[in-house]
Structure 1
Amino acid sequence: MTRHCPAMLVTAPASGQGKTTVCAALARYHRNQGRTVRVFKTGPDFLDPLMLTRASGAPVRQIDLWMVGRQESRRQLYQAAAEADLILIEGSMGLYDGVPSSADLAEAFGVPVCLLIDASAMGQTFGAVAYGLAEYRADVTVAGVLANRVAGEGHTRLLRESLPAGMTWFGALPRSPAAQFPDRHLGLCQPEEVDDLDGRLDEVAAAMGKTGAGALPPPVAFRPEPEVPTPGLLAGRRIGIARDEAFSFIYPANVDGLRALGAEVTWFSPLHDEALPAVDAVWLPGGYPELHLEALSRNHAMHRALAVHVAAERPLLAECGGFLYLLEELVDGEGHAAPMAGLLPGRAWMRPRLTALGLQRADYPSGGLRGHTFHHSQAEVALTPWFHCERLRGGKGEAVYRRGSVVAGYQHHYFPSSPEATAELLGGPVQ
């Protein structure tokens, strides 16, 4: 049975226009009105969903036509429509950027878009940009246009008058310190690092309520998608996941996927714990080990615990920041070097700019795990790669290394894309 729920995708001409702030403001505004809001993020992202979770009060999940898949994305939207008064989707990059793009997703599910345009250095060209985005593809429905970082009433009037006839003006958001969430090299700072975050969210939510974007959009029809049963390939297995200030890049769907496979999930901290919990396998996700060099380096007891785990031929999967932690040495952005766990021969150092970015697939014997790479570090590993990932648009991606029961590399895996490969990595010694 088709379900109907108001929905809107927040998008922009490019990154850095304020999509996350606006999406968070919309979520908090409607939440403050007593509505149930479910927010999704298009494409791979760990940090924006944390902010959106804080704003909406509910977990934020990925939907994406490639990494998550059309069927699973439809299933998640259909489920959200059963419990929400409003569904919001934050797009990635610009509306038409990427393959697949936010526009592709909006078209696939019939979701109208809110065009957010940073007008801080713009006059009448605002209308041309809005018109171009709206008319570039006939299959994308524009609900309205919202101007961001506007200087004042005169600027607002000029922007509004620049819009072509028939295009809905949602209004303007003024420049505001509350709307400037702090960030670092991989994106936004995590919510617990932002002073008075809830107060700031309430402030931007109040501003959003004064715009046309704050009105509930029209209902969208979401079709059902049958859920595919997940085999219990990890039944009886207990998996320890690293989670603390240094390791926090974890898709909620990955944790749900492990549980759907039958695994019991438990947590530990490489920063603060001196021992592993009793587990059959360990997952070290990405994060910011470079910001916690000394604490990670001093925790020799955890290094030994991981070495004992690997010596017993129990699986250990390490992604990006977790991969760096397993090396012999890591050098931060200031040039400070510190020994790491030393389970893989090699070292890494932080670079001032991105060294890799993009969607890619890791093809394991049991199946291909989709995911992405996004990092500012460069690693030298004294091992021959087991294999290289395949980039979405073709070509060799990141190296994947295998040493005993350790599998590691820069790839951030999306576990539900292949339950079989996930079970291969965390279900026993890799053959």
Structure 2
Amino acid sequence: MNAAATPEPPHAAVARTCAAVLVSAPASGQGKTTVAAALARLHARQGRRVRAFKCGPDFLDPQWLALATGAPVHGLDLWINGEADVRARLHAAAGEADLIVVEGAMGLFDGETSAADLARRLGLPVVAVIDAGAMAGTFGALAHGLQHYQDGLPWAGVLANRVASERHAGMLRGALRDPGHWLGALPRSADFGLPERHLGLVPSAELRDALARLDAAADALAATPLGQRAPAALPQVEFTAPPPAAPLPPLLAGRTIAVARDAAFCFVYEANLDLLRALGARLAFFSPLAGDALPACDALWLPGGYPELHAARLAERTDLRDALQAHAAAGRAIWAECGGMMALFDELVDKAGTAHRLWGLLPGRTVMQARLAGLGPQWLAVEDGTLRGHTFHYSRCETALPAAARSARPGAAPQPDAGEALYGQGPVRASYFHAWFPSEPAAAARLFDGAPLRTSAA
């Protein structure tokens, strides 16, 4: 059921070899993104072609990796994408890149399909990043455990992060059983720290010095054994291609889909945009925060993001609220996910407790809270198939609108009081569920056809 990347000519099925590493860590917060982006930036600014990927569902880290490489960054998840899609994307990248950098998710062995699973399945050698700021000899034990916890894990070495001094770095290197696995040390530095907020890293587009931070990190990495290796001296990985995917039918031919895209609606997978175009759609981007009018369109996509941080400005867009209501009254489709859905309810209550009147296409309100309300991979069955994706949000929804369907975790059946609700009102479809469109192209196309909401059990 999973659709791979756009099929290449028959000769492309030949295996391709490329320098590649998977940057992981014992846990979140160790500095994976900093190291992965620094490695990519270091080689990209030397004129090399670098392609980066992110393990698992993530909208924020890919923005930093895209800034580092100057190229789109796609997610790799063995369950959400399917292995054929993962292999197709890496095979395509190997045909155009000098180096492939894959950033892991959470800890190396965390998740239902972990970064370690991906490394073993695809033969990606692991660069382990360990925050060594508060350790010495234990660094060696942790590195040894990461390397040997699972049999058959490809291993490139270990890099110490947030190191206090050269002497400290020497202690850490001396703790390794195999000194050849030492890839260097990075100091703790505000020059290349990446700031965070409640959903993860602050998007790179919000920081004027984002590229300067990556350059500072690349400069520091350049002094390490890892940074001093040319691609030819890095692990070489052979990427085989899966069988070509079936051609996609032009299910959205002749249709224009407006896509909100700015700091309030910034959670967009490039693969989703690629899929809509491959189905024949023309995409028209606009920024509600910048005051853009709704483009002339047949359907609208309101992606996730941070409407709670921009609720006052969104509430001022009464002209856009009127345009959206007219759009829906004309029977034109709206697909709103997570933050996009929040903007469609009558009211949004921000973290400070201030209520903002939003766009009123759905009855009720969403309320920000300190506690995480949803996290993890999910699937959602609709009439034309099953979409895979995930959920990650801190707000709760208070509405009398009944759920037309509910998402469920992998391997579980939908439950009336679990998973994320899919709401439907006229041509409006909305959910906290983030869909990965290539997982089921026909179902993704159905989100934008404006027909009455139809669901089915899977």
TM beyond 0.5 = yes
- The 5-angstrom pairing of residues 310-321 of structure 1 reads 310-321=328-339
1:92-171 paired onto structure 2 within 5 Å: 92-165=105-178, 168-171=181-184
Q: Quick one: distance in 2 between partners of 1:94 and 1:66?
A: 17
Partner of 1:365: 383
What is the alpha-carbon distance in structure 2 between the residues aligned to residue 409 and residue 70 of structure 1? Answer: 26
Residues 26 and 107, structure 2, Cα contact 8 Å, conserved in 1:
yes
| Residue identity matched to 2:238 | A
Question: How far did 1:153 drift?
Answer: 1.5
The residue number in structure 1 matching 2:423 is 401
1:223 counterpart residue number: 240
Cα deviations by residue, 1:128-160 (Å, 9 ceiling, x for unpaired): 111111001121111111000000012111111
Counterpart residue identity of residue 3, structure 1:
R
Residue 203 of structure 1 aligns with which residue?
Answer: 216
Which portions of structure 1, spanning 4 or more consecutive aligned residues, are displaced by more than 3 angstroms? Answer: 272-275
Is 1:72 the counterpart of 2:85? The answer is yes
SS in 2 for 1:213: coil
Q: Which residue is equivalent to 1:337? A: 355
| In structure 1, C-alpha distance between the alignment counterparts of 2:205 and 2:104, rounded to whole Å | 24
AA at the equivalent of 1:205? A
Which of 39, 51, 57 is the matching residue for 2:64? 51
Letter aligned with residue 294 of structure 1: A
User: Which piece of structure 1 moves more, 268-277 or 188-197?
Assistant: 268-277
Higher mean displacement: 162-171 or 405-414:
162-171
Q: Are the aligned partners of 1:284 and 1:322 in contact in 2 as well (CA < 8 Å)? A: yes
The code of the aligned residue for 1:221 comes to E
Within the candidate set 384, 390, 399, 1:381 is matched to 399
Structure 1 counterpart of 2:273, from 248, 255, 270? 255
Residue matched to 1:62: 75
Kept after mapping to 2: 8 A contact 1:313/1:404: yes
The equivalent of 1:355 in structure 2 is: 373
SS of 2:168's partner is: helix
CA distance in 2, matches of 1:168, 1:394: 41
Structure 1 regions of 5+ residues with no counterpart?
Answer: none
Aligned equivalents of 1:352, 1:99: Cα separation in 2? 25
Counterpart in 2 of 1:232? 250
Instruction: Name the residue aligned to 2:11.
Output: none
Residue 423 of structure 1 is matched in structure 2 by: 445
TM-score (norm 2): 0.92
SS of equivalent to 1:334: coil
Check 1:38–1:344 CA distance in 2 against 1; reply closer, same or farther (3 A cut).
Answer: same
Listed as ranges, the matches of 1:6-85 within 5 Å are 6-85=19-98
Are the equivalent residues in 1 in contact too, given 2:143–2:176 (CA < 8 A)?
A: yes
CA distance in 2, matches of 1:362, 1:326: 21
> Which whole-Å CA distance do the structure 2 matches of 1:116 and 1:309 have between them?
49
Shift of 1:335: 1.2
Q: Percent identity?
A: 53
- Name stretches of at least 5 consecutive residues in structure 2 with no aligned partner: 1-13, 454-458
What residue identity is the alignment partner of 2:43?
Answer: H
Deviation (angstroms), 1:188: 1.2
- Correspondent of 1:172 among 173, 177, 185: 185
Q: Which amino acid aligns with 2:289?
A: L
RMSD of aligned residue pairs (Cα, Å): 1.2
CA displacement at 1:166 relative to structure 2? 6.2
> Displacement, 1:393?
5.0
Deviation for aligned residue 1:190: 1.5
How far does the alpha carbon of each residue in 1:208-252 deviate from its partner, in whole angstroms, 9 at most, with x for none? Answer: 111122223121100022233111111111111111221111000
Structure 2 contact 378–409 (Cα < 8 Å) conserved: yes
Residue 16 of structure 2: aligned partner = 3
Q: Is contact 1:233-1:427 (8 Å) kept? A: no
Q: CA deviation at 1:63?
A: 1.2
Distance apart, 1:280 and its partner CA: 0.7
SS of corresponding position for 2:447: helix
* 1:282 corresponds to which of 297, 300, 312: 300
Deviation per residue, 1:63-114 (Å, 9 max, x gap): 1111111101101101101110000000000111011110111111111010
- Report whether the alignment pairs 1:301 with 2:314: no
Shift of 1:366: 0.5
SS at match of 2:90: helix
3-state DSSP class of the match of 1:58?
A: coil
Check conservation: 1:424, 1:430, Cα contact below 8 A. Answer: no
Give the TM-score, by structure 1 length. 0.98
Report the AA paired with residue 424 of structure 2: R
Q: 1:192 and 1:63 mapped to 2: Cα distance?
A: 23
Structure 1 residue 197: Cα displacement:
2.0
**Cα distance, 1:273 vs structure 2:** 3.6
Deviation readout 1:260-282 (Å, 9 max, x if unpaired): 01111111222234632111111
